[in-house]
Structure 1
Amino acid sequence: MVIRLATLPAAAAVAVAAAGDPPTRAAAVVGWTAVGLWSVVYASAVIRTRSRWPTVVDGLVLTGLALATPWTVSQTWLSTGKSWVVPFCTFACVAYQYYERWLLGGCMALAVAAGMVIGTAVGRPDGAVIDGLVTACWSLVITALARLLWTLVRRGGAQADEAVADAARASREREISARIRADELFTNRKLHDTSATTLLLAGLGQTRSVADLLSKRAARDLEFLRALRGNVIPAQSDLIDLLRDLVDVIPLHVRWIADERTSLDPTVAHSLADAAGEALINAARHSGTTSATLSVTRLADGVRVEIRDAGRGFALATVPSTRRGVRESIIARVAAVGGVAVVESGVGCGTLVRLEWRYV
């Protein structure tokens, strides 16, 4: 309808201005009045209904307009191969291809083109150039090209939509896979931490501590895992509370340097607490000392947790690749939430584990 509204006023003005004689001008006025009134009805019908009848009627109206060429176009124009009917009707035929199915759009274009050829042939004076007939016939080629272009555009759009859908599907699959992998890593680290601490306490003969560990820590971890699965995790978790739960079951005398509360995102808080717990477990198992210092410092843009012992220390480069406590349960765990874990140690120099997380 945009094409119709754009071409109708200009074509009508040219038709009346170039009529030449009063009878032709009168016929042009009558013809364009009829086409204009019908176009209003046509536009309204196209907007309000999905039926095909408005297009069929419009094609018949334009065919009649084309057949009336001998009466609505001056002989002067026809003798030189000119006609205002041909471009107006050609635009309409092209428009059919954009919103109608190929069969109906093609049939209407053929009918209107036939009307243009017949009207031009009948109206042209003897000895006039055949340019008008050629132009009328060429309108079919233009219409066919419009249909081809529209088909290519639609197919291209469908292929683009399919490509976008495939990319979105692949992205979702990668995201799901990454989440599954993250859940597996999270669960495996939890199991590693609990089992390592349990074995340590059992080896030291602290069976009561083992029972306390299994009941308290398993309950806490299970509650958090269920919250993650159900997407009902709280807005904040207190890092200090999580650290105290861990320190209570680790056979070390821990000196605290911390505020009373340090609230963080639950995932960040659990990751930092579990990494600190792993560092304390390692100190209890390997350092040869019975004490450690745990400090929690609020930074302007984050938090820092440090675990320090004065034990025998170790060389990180000499730790076998099969021993994943430091690499996975400390360094990788903190990195997974956007933080940084640094382990500083040396033989005979004790060990410092620094965990830092900053707001994005």
Structure 2
Amino acid sequence: MTTDTTPGMESDDGEVFRHRSVLLDQAVDYLVTDGSGRYVDATFGRGGHSRLILGRLSADGALLGIDKDPQAITVAKELAVADSRFCWYHGSFAELDQALVAQGWPQANGVLMDLGVSSPQLDDASRGFSFMRDGPLDMRMNPEQSPSAAEWLAGAEEHDIANVIFRYGEERFSRRIARLIVERRQEAPLETTRQLAALVAEAVPKKEKHKHPATRTFQAIRIFINRELEDLETGLREAVDRLAPGGRLVVISFHSLEDRLVKRFMRDLARGPKIPKGVPVTADQEQSGYRLVGKAFKASGQEIEDNVRARSAVMRVLERKAH
């Protein structure tokens, strides 16, 4: 397995957070089909995929990195100084069209999306993504945007909290959890990840083996706060609209909600337009302008052993036909 040797981000207390890009080689192998092409790393993170992509490009190639996390953009700026073929855009991949316009790129030869929260975000307690380390209940990928998880939980209606936890976390005890959140916030605000994790553990009557009871709730609130699925739907559409002929969209997802969305989107495009029976059409009109490349790709046993977060990763590839 090739791991990301990206220099880590340093926290306020001096701890360094390193990130291993999952399916690193496989993603770049399928993405880069033209060394002189223009590519987009739509989830730059700490630059693991970007550095490998740059290694596959000629002097005429170019790469745009996009990320909503200011810490990721700090790393991107350093890379842009070190390599003139690289440029960056601070924002969501839902703004991919806008990012390409800003660079004067009419099309891209490939777009890569590595979805979800990154290892440095999870491991940095101050970001509030994980219940494994106590920290402020934040969960924002871009801390410059509002609201934080704590702010939302402080004022949201009980039924809205329950719906978010059920929809984005597929948590069957969502109503019990929401009810207890509303009861407890009347006594004192929920401010830390440990407080929320303990509350959820108290509310959930049946525990799953080898899974913390707060796992689904934390996932759900994070997805909602960052508008992850809405951004994904928009980003996928903008990516395929901007793909050059022969260009590829490579997407790595880490939970079933993401993967189902990506799978349906790519499958429907590859199938082509739905034409009512009896409507006269030409053969060209029946054909799709896109094709699936391979099936779902998953991390190897060795990669999962080296990086436990790779166990749920699924990679899918869609290509815009050249003709």
Give the TM-score taking structure 1 as reference length.
Answer: 0.19
Q: Which has the larger radius of gyration?
A: 1
Structure that is richer in strand per residue = 2
Give the TM-score taking structure 2 as reference length.
Answer: 0.20
